[in-house]
Amino acid sequence: MQQPDQSMPSQLPTDTALTMLATGADHLDAGDAEAALAVFKEVNAAAELPIAARAALGAAEAYVRLGRDAEAADALSTAIDAGDRETRGIALRRLAAARVRTGDLAEALDLYRRAERDAPNDAARAEIASRIGWLAKETGAGSLGSRIRSSIAFNRARGSDPFGWVPLLLVIVTGAFSVASFLYDPLFSALALVKIYGGYDYLSVEPWRLLTVTLVHANLLHLLFNLFALDLGAKLIQRLYGGPRLVLWYLIGGVGASLASAIVAPGSPTVGASGAIFALFGIALGAEWAHKPLVERGVRTALGQIGGLILVNIVFGLSSTLIGGGIDNAAHLGGLLTGLLLGAMIPPTRAEAMRRRWSAALGRRGGEALVTGALVLALALLYLNWAALALLRLTLPI
111 and 191, same domain (yes or no): no
Tell me what pLDDT residue 79 has. 85
Given a contact cutoff of 8 angstroms between Cβ atoms, the answer to whether 214 and 276 are in contact is yes
Give domain status of residue 286, yes or no: yes
The Cα 186–Cα 208 span in angstroms is: 16
Mean pLDDT for the stretch of residues 25-35: 82
- Chain centroid, CA 213 distance in Å: 24
| Assigned domain for 382 exists | yes
- Residue 3 belongs to some domain of the structure: no
What share of the chain has pLDDT > 70, as a percent? 77
**pLDDT surpasses 50 at 233:** yes
Instruction: Give yes or no: residues 238 and 275 share one domain.
Output: yes
For residue 27, tell me if it sits in a domain.
Answer: yes
Q: Are residues 145 and 111 in the same domain?
A: yes
82 plus 147 within the same structural domain: yes
Relative to beta strand 200-201, strand 196-197 is: antiparallel
**DSSP character for 201?**
E
Q: Can you give the pLDDT at residue 30?
A: 73
Q: What's the whole-number mean pLDDT along residues 111-125? A: 79
Q: Read off the pLDDT of each residue in 307-323 and give the average, rounded to a whole number.
A: 59
Provide the CATH number for the domain around residue 111.
Answer: 1.25.40.10
Q: Is residue 388 included in any domain, yes or no?
A: yes
Residue 393 has pLDDT above 60, yes or no: yes
DSSP 193: B
pLDDT score, position 376: 97
> 199 in a domain, yes or no?
yes
- Widest pairwise Cα distance in the chain: 85
Mean per-residue pLDDT, 258-263: 97
Q: What is the pLDDT of residue 299?
A: 63
Task: Identify the pLDDT of residue 223.
Answer: 94
In this prediction, residue 383 carries a pLDDT of 96
Amino acid at 386: W
| Interval 242-251: pLDDT, tens | 899 999 999 9
Domain stop point among 130, 157, 184: 157
Shared-domain flag, residues 307 and 372: yes
Query: Which region among 140-144, 341-345, 364-368, 383-387 has the lowest average model confidence (pLDDT)?
Result: 140-144
Same domain, yes or no: 151 and 238: no
Q: What is the pLDDT of residue 372?
A: 93
Spatial contact of 317 and 336, defined as CB atoms under 8 Å apart: no
One domain, residues 324 and 197:
yes
How does residue 337 score in pLDDT terms, banded at 50, 70 and 90?
Answer: very high
The pTM of this model reads 0.63
Same domain, yes or no, for 177 and 139? no
Q: Is position 95 within any domain?
A: yes
Q: Confirm if 211 and 258 have CB atoms less than 8 A apart.
A: yes
Closest CA to 25 of 50, 53, 62, 51: 62
Angle at 70 between CA 351 and CA 104, to 5 degrees: 80
d(CA 81, CA 4): 11
| Whole-angstrom distance, CA of residue 309 vs CA of residue 303 | 10
Same domain, 152 and 104: yes
Q: Which of 157, 179, 197 finishes a domain? A: 157
* CATH number of the domain enclosing 386: 1.20.1540.10
Q: Which residues contact 220 (CB under 8 A, 6 or more apart)?
A: 182
* Residue 256 contacts residue 372 (beta carbons within 8 Å): no
Q: Are residues 290 and 333 in the same domain?
A: yes
- Asked whether residue 175 falls in the same domain as residue 242, the answer is yes
- Domain limits for position 88: 14-157
What single letter denotes the amino acid at residue 301?
T
Instruction: Give the model confidence (pLDDT) of 67-101 as tens digits.
Output: 888 898 888 888 888 767 888 888 888 888 888 77
* Among candidate residues 119, 140, 157, the one where a domain is terminated: 157
Write out the DSSP string of 40-60.
Answer: HHHHHHHS-HHHHHHHHHHHH
Residue 219: band (very low, low, confident or very high) from pLDDT cuts 50, 70, 90: very high
Q: Residue 114 CB: number of other CB atoms within 10 A?
A: 17
| Shared domain check, 113 and 238 | no
d(CA 171, CA 233): 11
Is 363 a residue whose pLDDT tops 50? no
Q: What single letter denotes the amino acid at residue 328?
A: D
Q: What does DSSP assign to residue 161?
A: S
The set of residues, in sequence order, having a beta carbon less than 8 Å from that of 22 and lying 6+ positions away, is: 355, 358, 359
How many domains are there within the chain? 2
